């Protein structure tokens, strides 16, 4: 196997070599950088490779190659409805992931706002919610990893001025690859809640989680996340439950259509608001 066109081959610790592929032999890839210089690379150390022409003709390919350990998604949804009750709704989300063994870092941020204006020019904020978390993982042995996950949220229509819920522990990776992932973390956490018009609350909690995604050959991606934090002293009165399920359909590079289903269940102190919240999202997603 050889090539006439030059290639960029990435290997080892962020090393790159440019040249024509001369062939494979005994687990080594030979690359000719010029007429007098040839380098041999162990195939097991190769991260990725592509032709110089593909690299130079697409800014998206260059960015994804140079930052191949990173992935980012930017979601945006907007809705305007003019009826007897006018509605303006805005949703924004950002997810950044970096995976390079033995570590993985995830930053996630989302914000949603909805304003209703009745015929009497009375404005009511029906949605004002923010959720963010930072996840850090470190591989320790085979498929086991340590993790830390500080998280914060607010939801003013549900009378949640702020809720801080960091957690940490150990997890098990059932599957892990570029196109699929299945993690089962568990450990301990702490919940600190500041409610509007109600007394503050805090408690120690257990932590059980689930994270997974699968990307099909046609680019369709399914992903899901689950979090359950029951209070250690009063699990029937103090708990957090979060579940998200996403379906992402590619449209035109790098744009996809995102459909998300979210279920939130927690110990809300206001009986008229209740403990459960179910919502859906349809938005455009830019994937890098």
Across the range 143-160, mean pLDDT stands at 96
| CB-based burial label for 211 (10 Å; 0-12, 13-18, 19+) | buried
Lowest pLDDT segment from 60-64, 118-122, 194-198, 213-217: 118-122
Beta strand segments in the chain, E: 7-11, 15-25, 28-32, 38-42, 46-51, 70-81, 86-100, 103-117, 123-141, 144-149, 151-155, 160-164, 167-176, 180-195, 201-215, 221-230, 239-252, 255-266, 276-287
Residue 40 pLDDT grade (very low, low, confident, very high; cuts 50, 70, 90): confident
Q: Is residue 24 part of a domain?
A: yes
- Number of domains, the chain: 2
Q: Give percent of the chain above pLDDT 70.
A: 93
- Give me the residues paired with residue 230 across strands: 239
Among 51, 66, 81, the domain boundary falls at 66
Same structural domain for residues 11 and 81?
no
Q: Is residue 165 part of a domain?
A: yes
Higher pLDDT, 19 or 278: 278
Same structural domain for residues 208 and 280?
yes
CB hemisphere CA count around 231 (13 angstroms): 15
Same structural domain for residues 41 and 28?
yes
Residue 246 pLDDT grade (very low, low, confident, very high; cuts 50, 70, 90): very high
Across the range 199-226, mean pLDDT stands at 96
Q: What pLDDT score does 267 carry?
A: 92
Q: What pLDDT score does 5 carry?
A: 77
**Would you say residue 32 has pLDDT above 80?**
no
Across the range 102-120, mean pLDDT stands at 87
Same structural domain for residues 124 and 92?
yes
Q: Is residue 45 part of a domain?
A: yes
Q: What pLDDT score does 54 carry?
A: 78
Residue 118 pLDDT grade (very low, low, confident, very high; cuts 50, 70, 90): low
Query: What is the rounded distance in angstroms from the CA atom of residue 157 to the CA atom of residue 130?
Result: 12
Higher pLDDT, 45 or 147: 147
Same structural domain for residues 184 and 77?
yes
Across the range 153-167, mean pLDDT stands at 95
Please provide the average confidence, as pLDDT, over all residues in the chain: 87
Question: What range does the domain containing 62 cover?
Answer: 7-66
Q: What pLDDT score does 31 carry?
A: 76
Same structural domain for residues 125 and 33?
no
Query: What is the rounded distance in angstroms from the CA atom of residue 285 to the CA atom of residue 92?
Result: 10
Q: Is residue 21 part of a domain?
A: yes
Q: What pLDDT score does 18 carry?
A: 77
Query: What is the rounded distance in angstroms from the CA atom of residue 288 to the CA atom of residue 280?
Result: 24
**Would you say residue 81 has pLDDT above 70?**
no
Q: What pLDDT score does 66 carry?
A: 81
Q: What pLDDT score does 60 carry?
A: 80
Same structural domain for residues 200 and 185?
yes
Q: What are phi and psi of 54, to 5 degrees?
A: -65, -35
| Residue 15 in tokens | 């090393």
Same structural domain for residues 74 and 13?
no
Q: Give percent of the chain above pLDDT 90.
A: 55
Query: What is the rounded distance in angstroms from the CA atom of residue 276 to the CA atom of residue 181?
Result: 28
Q: For the domain that residue 207 is a member of, what is the CATH number? A: 2.40.230.20
Same structural domain for residues 201 and 253?
yes
Q: What pLDDT score does 288 carry?
A: 86
Helices (H), 134-199: none
CB hemisphere CA count around 75 (13 angstroms): 24
Q: Is residue 2 part of a domain?
A: no
Q: Is residue 1 part of a domain?
A: no
Same structural domain for residues 160 and 238?
yes
Across the range 57-61, mean pLDDT stands at 80
Give this prediction's pTM: 0.84
Across the range 251-255, mean pLDDT stands at 92
| Residue 71 in tokens | 């992935």
Q: Is residue 96 part of a domain?
A: yes
Among 32, 47, 66, the domain boundary falls at 66
Q: What pLDDT score does 80 carry?
A: 60
Q: For the domain that residue 52 is a member of, what is the CATH number? A: 2.30.30
Same structural domain for residues 144 and 226?
yes
Q: Is residue 253 part of a domain?
A: yes
Same structural domain for residues 83 and 43?
no
183-212 pLDDT, tens digit each: 999 999 999 999 999 999 999 999 999 999
Across the range 128-147, mean pLDDT stands at 95
Cβ pair 134, 127 in contact under 8 A: no
């Amino acid at each position: 196997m050889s090539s006439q066109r030059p290639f960029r081959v990435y290997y080892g610790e962020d090393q790159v070599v440019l040249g024509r592929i001369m062939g494979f032999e005994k687990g080594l890839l030979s690359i000719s950088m010029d007429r007098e210089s040839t380098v041999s690379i162990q195939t097991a150390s190769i991260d990725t490779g592509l032709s110089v022409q593909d690299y130079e003709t697409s800014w998206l390919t260059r960015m994804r190659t140079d930052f191949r350990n990173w992935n980012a998604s930017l979601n945006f949804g907007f809705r305007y409805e003019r009826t007897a009750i006018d509605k303006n709704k805005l949703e924004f989300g950002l997810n950044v992931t970096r995976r390079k063994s033995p570590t993985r870092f995830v930053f996630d941020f989302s914000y949603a706002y909805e304003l209703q204006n009745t015929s009497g020019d009375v404005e009511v904020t029906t949605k004002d919610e923010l959720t963010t978390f930072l996840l850090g993982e470190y591989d320790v042995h085979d498929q086991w990893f340590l993790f830390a996950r500080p998280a914060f949220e607010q939801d003013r229509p549900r009378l949640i001025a702020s809720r801080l819920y960091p957690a940490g522990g150990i997890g098990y990776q059932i599957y892990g690859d570029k196109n699929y992932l299945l993690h089962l973390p568990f450990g301990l956490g702490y919940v600190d809640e500041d409610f509007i018009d109600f007394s503050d609350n805090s408690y120690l909690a257990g932590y059980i989680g689930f994270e997974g995604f699968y990307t099909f050959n046609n680019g369709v991606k399914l992903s899901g996340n689950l979090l359950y934090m029951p209070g250690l002293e009063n699990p029937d009165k103090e708990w957090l439950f979060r579940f998200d399920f996403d379906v992402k359909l590619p449209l035109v590079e790098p744009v996809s259509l995102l459909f998300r289903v979210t279920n939130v269940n927690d110990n809300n102190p206001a009986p008229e608001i209740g403990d459960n919240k179910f919502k859906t999202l349809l938005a455009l997603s830019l994937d890098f």
